[in-house]
């Protein structure tokens, strides 16, 4: 393993859900260790419990007190869930929520301190990574659901439908469009991204005329290629999504329902507009499937691959923009114009 192998911090998620099954099935394939050094924040004891319960293949797990020197070709486990934690498979308990929160808080702390490079979270409840990292800035985070070339971002997060309308403002939508463009350019390395903006209502109404369309016009003034607003049912009922690099949905269900139906549950959620790369499989707790060996780890595996790719893209983007070519200054005002290579403007 190269010293520069990416260290991926992984929160174990809710111990009573499907997270342990996803971990065990993902890391039984030793090929994944060639691209990253995984560091799990949770409990190796809980992993062992689920491995025995479902009779899964053993994986190489190494317990560690900190992440300074993680081992290669293995899953490194930082045990942050108490030894006495009692697994109640398939049940959502206060204790399981607290364990998931503690796992996430600890990995976020190490992410901020540079001890891991990126974060992949597993299904939990209560807080999310943006809230754990930047409580005062969590509303600035932009959720983008990703599957291959399909990318659907959310103008508003998972809030009750009755709370969506007050959150839709010209300033908010304009900011979301610009944040989405920035993520597409700097994280996904798309030079001139095209963005589709969905309508709030099935038929054009007040919000489209007074909020969404003016927001699109404002973003267009800043050289963002954005179009719409498109009625969601008509947009997703055609091949229109293929014509855009990303789609901005107005609320959670509008984007997520379409995304899940188009990706068969194999998608990833990327939390953009933050200093760190954070991904997660677009899966819920699925408590009813916990411990039954019924879940496929594809989305979690793809979340790891995407986190690795986005981190590499960010590093490349920084290198590209670190030493931009300066515009050169022409001395004018005489017949023999001179190019001054020592000046810029």
Q: Where are the domains of the chain?
A: 1-137+274-339, 142-273
As its CATH architecture, domain 1-137+274-339 has 3-Layer(aba) Sandwich (3.40)
Spatial separation of the C-alpha atoms in residues 189 and 12, rounded to whole Å: 30
Residue 327 — pLDDT band, cuts 50, 70, 90? low
CB 189 within 8 A of CB 232: no
Please give the class, per CATH, of domain 142-273: alpha beta
Spatial separation of the C-alpha atoms in residues 171 and 173, rounded to whole Å: 6
In terms of Cα–Cα distance, which of 133, 154, 151, 132 is closest to 143?
154
- Cα angle 75, 76, 82; round to 5: 115
Residue 135 — pLDDT band, cuts 50, 70, 90? confident
Q: Note the pLDDT of residue 71.
A: 86
3-state SS assignment for residue 282: coil
Show Cβ contacts of residue 223 under 8 Å, excluding neighbours closer than 6 positions.
none
Query: Would you state the structure tokens that stand for residue 297, as one six-digit string?
Result: 């780890």
Is the pLDDT at 329 greater than 50? The verdict is no
pTM: 0.90
Residue 4 — pLDDT band, cuts 50, 70, 90? low
Is the pLDDT at 144 greater than 80? The verdict is yes
Q: Note the pLDDT of residue 321.
A: 80
């Amino acid at each position: 393993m190269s010293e520069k192998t990416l260290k991926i911090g992984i929160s174990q998620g809710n111990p009573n859900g499907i997270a342990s099954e996803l971990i065990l099935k993902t890391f039984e394939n030793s090929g994944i260790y060639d691209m990253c050094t995984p560091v799990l924040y949770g409990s190796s004891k809980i992993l062992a419990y689920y491995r025995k319960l479902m009779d899964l293949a053993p994986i190489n797990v190494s317990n560690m007190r900190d992440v300074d020197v993680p081992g290669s070709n293995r899953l490194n486990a930082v045990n942050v869930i108490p030894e006495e934690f009692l697994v109640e498979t398939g049940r959502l308990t206060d204790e399981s929520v607290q364990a998931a929160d503690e796992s996430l808080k600890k990995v976020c702390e190490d992410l901020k301190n540079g001890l891991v490079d990126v974060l992949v979270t597993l299904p939990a409840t209560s807080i999310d990574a943006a809230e754990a990292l930047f409580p005062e800035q969590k509303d600035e985070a932009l959720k983008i659901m990703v599957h291959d070339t399909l990318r659907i971002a959310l103008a508003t997060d998972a809030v009750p439908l009755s709370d969506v309308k007050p959150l839709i403002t010209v300033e908010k939508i304009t900011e979301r469009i610009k944040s989405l463009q920035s993520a597409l350019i700097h994280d996904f390395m798309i030079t001139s991204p095209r963005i589709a903006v969905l309508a709030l209502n099935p038929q054009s109404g007040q919000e489209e005329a007074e909020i969404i369309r003016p927001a699109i016009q404002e973003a267009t003034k800043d050289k963002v290629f954005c179009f719409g607003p498109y009625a969601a049912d008509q947009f997703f009922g055609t091949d229109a999504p293929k014509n855009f690099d990303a789609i901005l949905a107005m609320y959670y269900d509008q984007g997520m329902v379409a995304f899940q139906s188009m990706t068969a549950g194999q998608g990833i959620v990327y939390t953009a507009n933050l200093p760190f790369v954070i991904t997660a499989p677009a899966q819920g707790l699925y408590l009813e499937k916990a411990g039954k060996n019924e879940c496929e780890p594809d989305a979690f595996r793809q979340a790891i691959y995407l986190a690795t790719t986005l981190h590499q893209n960010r590093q490349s983007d920084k290198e590209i923009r670190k030493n931009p070519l300066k515009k050169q200054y022409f001395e004018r005002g005489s017949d023999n114009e001179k190019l001054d290579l020592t000046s810029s403007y």
